[in-house]
């Protein structure tokens, strides 16, 4: 089930976000930088996004296993715990987030994140040509949903 994040499940969402974020960034972030992304800090991040108008959601099976946020037509923060990846939960969260968008869904992904990019492209997202350098080695690329290319 997918639930809106509120005070009753913020701690669970923050834990999922922290663990998943660290896992997805460990190949290019320093251990010190990774360790700063504690569940407490990620909880503050989620709370600030909600306070700024984002809708955050938590995927729960037997336990909390994934999160995603939506702000109008922008999908962000799609994370699934590492031990649950490859089982369709990312697809489930992405489709839920797409349905929650107010317009044509779009998102950004780290250029080096081939697994996430495959998921997005399989679901009909296409490169827009926009790219944002985050550092000398790291860049985000934008994708937007293309109904003709959708695998839905």
**Average pLDDT score over residue span 55-66:** 96
**Strand, helix or coil for residue 22:** helix
Mean pLDDT of 91-112: 95
> Using the 8-state DSSP alphabet, how is residue 86 labeled?
T
- CATH code for position 28: 3.40.630.30
Which structural domain, as residue segments, surrounds residue 23?
A: 2-149
Q: Is the pLDDT of residue 4 over 80?
A: yes
pTM, 2 dp: 0.91
Domain count of the fold of the chain: 1
* Collapsed DSSP state (helix, strand, coil) of residue 55: strand
Model pLDDT for residues 123-134, shown as the tens digit of each residue = 999 999 999 988
To 5 degrees, how large is the angle CA 117–CA 45–CA 110?
Answer: 20
- CB-based burial, 63-79: b 16+ in 10 Å, e otherwise: ebbbbbbbbebbbbbbb
């Amino acid at each position: 089930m997918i639930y809106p994040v509120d005070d009753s499940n913020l701690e669970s969402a923050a834990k999922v976000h922290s663990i998943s974020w660290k896992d997805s960034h460990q190949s290019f972030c320093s251990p010190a930088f990774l360790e700063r992304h504690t569940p407490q800090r990620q909880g503050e991040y989620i709370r600030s996004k909600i306070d700024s108008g984002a809708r955050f959601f938590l995927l729960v099976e037997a336990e909390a296993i994934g999160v995603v946020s939506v702000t109008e037509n922008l999908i962000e923060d799609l994370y699934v715990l590492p031990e649950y990846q490859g089982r369709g939960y990312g697809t489930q969260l992405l489709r839920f987030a797409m349905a929650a968008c107010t317009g044509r869904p779009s998102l950004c992904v780290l250029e080096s994140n081939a697994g996430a990019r495959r998921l997005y492209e399989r679901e009909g997202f296409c490169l827009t040509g926009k790219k944002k350098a985050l550092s000398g080695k790291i860049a985000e690329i934008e994708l937007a949903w293309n109904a003709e290319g959708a695998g839905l």
